[in-house]
Amino acid sequence: MTKSFRSVIALIMVLALCVTAGLAVIGQAENDKEDFHIKTAEDSTEALSIPDVVKNAGRSIVAIETETKVVYNNRDYYGSPFDSLFGFGFGYGGPFGYGSPYGGGRDSSYTKKAAGSGVIISEDGYILTNNHVISGADSITVYVQSENSKEEQTYEATLVGASESHDIAILKIDAKDLVPAVFGNSDDIVAGEPAIVIGNPMGTVHGSVTAGIISATEHEMTIENVTINAIMTNAAINPGNSGGGLFDQYGHLVGVVYAKSVSVQLEGIGYAIPSNEVLEYAENIINHRDSFEDQTNGSKILLGITITDVTEAIANQYNMPMGVYITDVTTMSAAERAGLQRGDIITEFAGEKVTCADDLNKVKAKQKPGDMVEVVVDRNGKTVKLDLVVPQPTEMNTESR
């Protein structure tokens, strides 16, 4: 009886060890899933030539093309505020060609193509880009340079997740042995040092290179409700560069290209999201793809304007009031209907003073759809008062797709 009991105890212990081992394996698998980290640089002392930076980092940049089916009616067609500033968009026949949203009078559709850039962040196919490059796309195609730069591999990409509030997105392609970018410390860059941009300008020149300097390291700019503490550079940035790489003199990625300035007073200036602001969010999207939530409010009111702050320094230099400078107005938006124009400086909104984008967003958030509010702008030195109808808010997508 005792021998039999001991045998039972031994069997239970063996089973317990098996279960424990199994749980350990599962736990290890879960830990592995949570263990993705972007490759970061060690301290560098030797600067590289621009050709060497391109040689080391060029294969880490991809070209991206998207297709989106657009269903419209000319009575309620609205474009995206990003169309003219980011990426590079074109439809079959274009918005004024066959299938134009400005023709007919009934529901119809056309396929809109757009292009951008991306940064490889893992050997097995994770790619970082701007959310606005791929937002709403029905299909995403990625072009990866091979070791022979004259050849490319083409992949269909899936969206892992995105942060609209930080304007970043993570894609995944079925690939291996890719060359990930090495992230540098964007806090260490200083104005005046070399800057190299690699991307896909106009959606046609894959792996294009431009160079300049870091113009400023902390420039706050807001496009709708997305505020970026951006790196400013005079390295040429054009539509299609969005989502590509801004590299330092050591070949390290210090920024993700974000936008080109369309202000007549800032010609030749572009912006990038600092790598330190991107890194943590990118890793979180991958490691918590099933539970990642974007830290943003539930909805936003889109006026249809692209803006940048007129700071006190700029106001004094150019003899203009502090406020919010409009760099672009979306066709058929609430802003255009109200009469707002590119070059206007918003100084008051709904009876409250506006000196920066944060002021405008706070006042705008208090309004209700359908309200008529007065907008006071400075237009070429003259005060102009306009009536604007507050549009319906656009719901923010905070789910991984």
pLDDT category of residue 396 using cuts at 50, 70 and 90: very low
Q: Is 389 inside any structural domain?
A: yes
Interatomic CA distance for residues 94 and 110, integer angstroms: 9
Which residues, in sequence order, are CB contacts of 314 under 8 Å at separation 6+? 320
Question: Where does a domain end: 148, 172, 196?
Answer: 172
Tens digits of per-residue pLDDT, 307-321?
Answer: 888 888 888 888 999
The mean pLDDT value for 38-54 works out to 88
- What pLDDT score was predicted for residue 317? 87
What is this structure's pTM? Answer: 0.63
pLDDT category of residue 192 using cuts at 50, 70 and 90: very high
Interatomic CA distance for residues 239 and 246, integer angstroms: 15
Tens digits of per-residue pLDDT, 76-122?
Answer: 444 444 444 444 554 443 433 333 444 445 667 788 889 999 999 99
Q: How many domains does the chain have?
A: 3
Tens digits of per-residue pLDDT, 8-26?
Answer: 444 444 444 444 444 444 4
Average pLDDT, rounded, for the chain: 78
Q: Is 80 inside any structural domain?
A: yes
Q: Is 320 inside any structural domain?
A: yes
pLDDT category of residue 136 using cuts at 50, 70 and 90: confident
pLDDT category of residue 368 using cuts at 50, 70 and 90: confident
Residue 49 pLDDT exceeds 60: yes
Q: Is 101 inside any structural domain?
A: yes
The mean pLDDT value for 207-236 works out to 82
Residue 140 pLDDT exceeds 90: yes
Instruction: Write the CA distances from 86 to 49, 239, 258, 270, integer angstroms.
Output: 29, 6, 8, 11
Residue 334 pLDDT exceeds 60: yes
- What pLDDT score was predicted for residue 182? 95
Interatomic CA distance for residues 275 and 246, integer angstroms: 9
Please tell me whether residues 54 and 201 are part of one structural domain: yes
Tens digits of per-residue pLDDT, 335-344?
Answer: 999 999 999 9
Please tell me whether residues 202 and 306 are part of one structural domain: no
The mean pLDDT value for 155-170 works out to 90
The mean pLDDT value for 360-377 works out to 88
Please tell me whether residues 225 and 266 are part of one structural domain: yes
Interatomic CA distance for residues 304 and 334, integer angstroms: 6
Q: Which residues are catalytic?
A: 132, 167, 242
Interatomic CA distance for residues 183 and 353, integer angstroms: 41
CATH number at residue 351: 2.30.42.10
CATH number at residue 112: 2.40.10.10
Instruction: Tally the residues of the chain.
Output: 401
Please tell me whether residues 54 and 203 are part of one structural domain: yes
Please tell me whether residues 93 and 142 are part of one structural domain: yes
pLDDT category of residue 226 using cuts at 50, 70 and 90: low
Report the percentage of the chain scoring pLDDT > 90.
42
Q: Is 6 inside any structural domain?
A: no
Please tell me whether residues 167 and 66 are part of one structural domain: yes
The mean pLDDT value for 181-197 works out to 94
Q: Which residue has the tokens 């990003």?
A: 82
Residue 165 pLDDT exceeds 80: no
State the number of CA atoms in the 13 A half-sphere of 32 facing the CB. Answer: 6
Please tell me whether residues 312 and 271 are part of one structural domain: no
pLDDT category of residue 253 using cuts at 50, 70 and 90: very high
Amino acid letter, 118: G
Residue 238 pLDDT exceeds 90: no
Residue 259 pLDDT exceeds 80: no
Q: Is 11 inside any structural domain?
A: no
Q: Which domain holds residue 222?
A: 50-58+182-280
- What pLDDT score was predicted for residue 347? 95
Higher-pLDDT residue of 70 and 354 is 354
Interatomic CA distance for residues 278 and 66, integer angstroms: 22
Contact (Cβ atoms closer than 8 angstroms) between residue 330 and residue 78: yes
Q: Is 88 inside any structural domain?
A: yes
Question: Where does a domain end: 172, 203, 230?
Answer: 172
Amino acid letter, 232: M
